[in-house]
């Protein structure tokens, strides 16, 4: 099979990761339609290559060297959104930025989804990660169902919320070879009565986060999940002395100990070394195991999307 037009070879990936780190994709496809996606998946199957999907790259650490596979990013038709107020739903393509969905809901007066307006991922990535800002403020609370694509069998199907097995920053999609194409969310009950309250909620949440989190920095947000313990991950990391700790160009943010930032020239290996140091220090000092939230590409995705 010749290389289809939608596929580029040896494509640089650092621009597709919020932390600005990453090598090259052996094959890369920014797919604008189902036809493109099917072509990319057929190409991968033909060559026995895994397919990896990236959203807005806000929670990934991509390896420094060549990612051997077909890296797919959803664009075009996968960025559409429509409201069905009559039946109380909103339908979005998986490539739609979650912030755009949150803002669209708020502009229509739907309260209770402010968290969507501040998380910098795509709808597809947010479903996979069950993104959120706290209990009752996460994707699992509002999602009804998703349309998914199996890149191995090259077929589409629907998964209901119950089948997605959501838990804290996780879903069955961490273990299942499926690409989210489209999501249907239940609209919050009634538009709120106070004009502009929903938009004000997003602004307030945004302001609260800016006060404690680094901004205008290259980062993937929280490095670790909060442990099932008394305090959040950042509390333990700070008291383990990690703020400002560096490995090459990677540094634990001096503002928030659970965030790692790229100071400009960090390599993926340096970030991984720093992550391991964080885990070791917290284990040593508090006997607490910190589990990574950030997804390593391709290590954390390989088996799920590998057709072999
Ligand atoms: C500044 C900052 C603040 C953040 N704040 C929060 C926060 O408050 N709460 C929170 O939960 N997260 C937060 N994050 C992390 C991140 O935004 C979320 O995890 C987000 O849901 C990731 O979406 P993405 O599209 O960027 O996915 P990516 O980072 O591109 O990918 C993450 C995972 O999702 C998979 N994926 C992406 N698209 C699809 C798809 N269409 N189908 C199937 N799988 C897919 C990828 O394969 C990968 O395994 C923050 C990140 C940053 C940089």
pLDDT tens digit sequence for 168-200? 999 999 888 899 999 999 998 766 666 688 899
Question: Which residue among 54, 59, 224 is best mutated to probe the pocket of ligand 1, counting the most ligand atoms within 8 A of its Cβ?
Answer: 59
pLDDT higher than threshold 70 for residue 287? yes
- Alpha carbons 214 and 99: distance in angstroms, whole number: 18
In a domain, 19, yes or no: yes
| Per-residue pLDDT reduced to its tens digit, 236-264 | 999 999 999 999 999 999 999 999 999 99
Please report which helix (H) or strand (E) contains residue 233, including its range.
helix 233-239
Say whether both 152 and 108 belong to one domain. yes
E strand or H helix that includes residue 133:
strand 132-134
CATH of the domain at 255: 3.90.78.10
User: What tokens does 132 get?
Assistant: 């959120």
* Per-residue tokens: 29: 């496809």
Q: Is residue 226 within 6 Å of ligand 1 at its C-beta?
A: no
Domain that holds residue 264: 224-292
Q: What is the model's pLDDT at position 190? A: 64
Q: Are residues 82 and 178 in the same domain?
A: yes
Question: Does the CA dihedral 264-269-273-275 come out positive or negative?
Answer: positive
ω into 134 cis (within 30 of 0): no
Classify residue 96 by burial, with Cβ atoms within 10 Å: 0-12, 13-18, 19+.
buried
Mean predicted confidence (pLDDT) in 288-292: 98
22 lines ligand 1 (CB under 6 A): no
pLDDT of residue 193: 62
DSSP letter assigned to residue 114: G
Classify residue 214: in a domain, yes or no.
no
Is 143 found in the same domain as 86?
Answer: yes
How far, rounded to the nearest angstrom, does the alpha carbon of residue 205 sit from its chain's CA centroid? 19
Local structure of 195: helix, strand or coil: coil
Q: Which residues contact 276 (CB under 8 A, 6 or more apart)?
A: none
- Angle at CA 123, nearest 5°, toward 225 and 202? 75
The count of structural domains within the chain is: 3
Let me know if 27 is exposed, middle or buried by CB neighbors in 10 A (0-12, 13-18, 19+): buried
CA 83, 127, 119, 227 dihedral sign is: positive
C-beta 140 within 6 A of ligand 1:
no
Centre of ligand 1 to C-alpha 239, Å, is 27
Is 82 contained in some domain? yes
Residue carrying structure tokens 């990236």: 54
Is 38 part of any domain?
A: yes
- 98: burial class by Cβ within 10 Å (0-12, 13-18, 19+)? buried
Distance 122 CA to ligand 1 centre (A): 7
Query: Which pLDDT tens digit goes with each residue over 86-142?
Result: 999 999 999 999 999 999 999 999 988 999 999 999 999 999 999 999 888 999 999
> What pTM value is reported for the model?
0.96
Q: Is residue 119 a part of any domain in this protein?
A: yes
Question: Is there a domain that residue 138 lies in?
Answer: yes
* CATH number, position 61: 3.30.43.10
- Are 57 and 114 members of one domain? no
Among the candidates 186, 216, 233, a domain finishes at: 186
Answer yes or no: is the C-beta of 18 below 6 A from any ligand 1 atom. yes
Q: Does the pLDDT at position 304 exceed 50?
A: no
**Is 249 within the bounds of a domain?**
yes
Residue nearest to atom 35 of ligand 1 (CA): 125
Does the residue 270 lie in any domain? yes
Q: List, by residue number, the catalytic residues.
A: 169, 222, 293
Residues 100 and 52 in one domain: no
| Domain co-membership, 180 together with 239 | no
How much is the pLDDT for 1?
Answer: 64
Amino acid 306: pLDDT? 47
Question: Residue 97's closest CA among 112, 118, 72?
Answer: 118
Supply the Cα-derived Rg of the chain in whole angstroms.
20
């Amino acid at each position: 099979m010749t290389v289809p037009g939608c596929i580029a070879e040896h494509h640089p990936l650092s621009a597709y990761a919020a932390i600005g780190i990453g090598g090259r994709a052996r094959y890369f496809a920014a797919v604008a339609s189902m036809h493109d996606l099917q072509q990319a998946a057929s190409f991968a199957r033909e060559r026995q290559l895994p397919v990896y999907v990236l959203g807005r790259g806000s929670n990934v650490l991509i390896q420094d060297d060549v990612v051997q596979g077909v890296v797919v990013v959803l664009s075009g038709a996968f960025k559409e959104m429509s409201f069905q107020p009559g039946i109380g739903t909103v339908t979005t393509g998986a490539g739609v930025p979650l912030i755009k969905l949150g803002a669209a809901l708020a502009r229509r007066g739907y309260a209770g989804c402010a968290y969507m307006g501040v998380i910098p991922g795509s709808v597809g990535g947010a479903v996979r990660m069950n993104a959120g800002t706290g209990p009752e403020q996460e994707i699992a609370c509002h999602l009804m169902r998703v349309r998914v694509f199996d890149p191995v069998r090259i077929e589409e199907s629907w998964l209901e919320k119950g089948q997605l097995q959501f838990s804290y920053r996780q879903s069955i999609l961490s273990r299942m070879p499926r690409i989210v194409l489209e999501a249907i969310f239940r609209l919050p009950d009634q538009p709120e009565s106070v004009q502009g309250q929903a938009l004000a909620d997003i602004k307030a949440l945004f302001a609260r986060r800016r006060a404690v989190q680094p901004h205008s920095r290259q980062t993937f947000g929280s490095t670790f999940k909060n442990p099932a313990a008394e305090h959040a991950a950042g509390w333990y990391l700070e008291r383990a002395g990690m703020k400002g700790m560096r490995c090459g160009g990677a540094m634990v943010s001096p503002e928030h100990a659970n965030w790692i930032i790229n100071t400009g020239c960090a390599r993926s290996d340096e970030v991984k070394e720093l992550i391991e140091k964080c885990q070791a220090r917290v284990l040593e000092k508090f006997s607490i195991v910190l589990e990574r939230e950030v997804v390593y590409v391709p290590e954390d995705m390989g088996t799920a999307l590998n057709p072999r």
